Structure 1
């Protein structure tokens, strides 16, 4: 059996005629639009972009399509010909993709870059918080330096063992000053990061080993656009239905749950 079976295409890309594109956490399934409620209310996020940046996402899609189908087609025939009147300035947008077959962890690097760049705040939503030493220290260091670091994770899990590892990471982060909240109505599947009213990322990248190292992923980095404040506003409104995780709550966790989470952390790279 090939180890490449582990390398899942986790991207979600929709492109309309080369001029409009969507990406984010939303898959094509009933629970993603809450027609079926498997884990409480399902909260997700996506971004729509228009303009020249759509070409990046078109190439992402066609590269995988041609690889899987074994064809070699002319990408340029799928490129939308924008005119000056099509252009509307609203900051900067940079779609990016990440492949497990190169030597660069693009998704993790983007997240670390924004954490290190922040001066006032970093707000993050992620369904999983299964992170390595490098990311843990970056979050802790930012909080200790006075940055307002907040993370929203699910309250109702989709995979109990991954949720156990997520919660096992709470203690050190909360002790370091990171504020962690659980989304009380159900499962938060959105993957967003917003910082200082200037930078934001929306995409498919979870804060876990699989997204950082094993999956094909994609996202959109944006700077000084209206979308940045939209993402911040969505985060703050979501906080209203979240429960903050305190040290008192962590200390009251049953000993066997703490032990289980600690043991499962050994297998975190496999989750």
Structure 2
């Protein structure tokens, strides 16, 4: 991987770890931003991680741009030689696939879609070689996902499927973006799944919806009282299919403050994962059994 550094005026440095979206690139970017945060460098005011890249904002009156660049390059050397392990958490996210709300929305925007006569799931199944929407749904929730960044819209996680590259699901975005997407829609665009944190415009294919609130600026949701955004880069997600009755039950529990997401602490070892993806994924998902 060839890291590229570029200045944004005199207050920002943009670091592109790799042009290619890959778990290795995400992991290196995350390692560098974590190391930068721990270094607590005078003058650094903001660190914004993204997919295989990140941006640093700093005060040039405190640290000169050239000095900031030198410190970032030194951190890259540390990240390159560091053990590729991290302690993180795996989170179960319940999903009501083929729900009535995203279905109603997607049917309003068929003229903007590649397949005006079907649904988003029908289209996704077809172009990925599955015989049915149900088979595609199983492929979507049968392996865990890595949160590579959070943003674009406040609280929205981008999720990268933890499988071999040739097995990754890929679905293009709508031909033209929608002007509406239900809050907490589980979507897909390119090689990324996502969860829409708020209602609004969007171009990702819509597969279902989760009753689990992931962004709460008022911080009234019981498990978001410490911070309004639920996900953070490095989280691992396991999607769990649910039906309408379970959706209603969880939604009521979120609203009355009794719902607690299923979460387990895990160690993610990138080298072990690359050597045995199926085995590592099984252990990751088993960690939730006691949660």
**Normalising to structure 2: TM-score of the pair?**
0.26
Taking CA–CA contacts closer than 8 Å with sequence separation of 6 or more, which of the two structures ends up with the larger relative contact order?
1
Greater share of helix: 1
TM-score by length of 1: 0.27
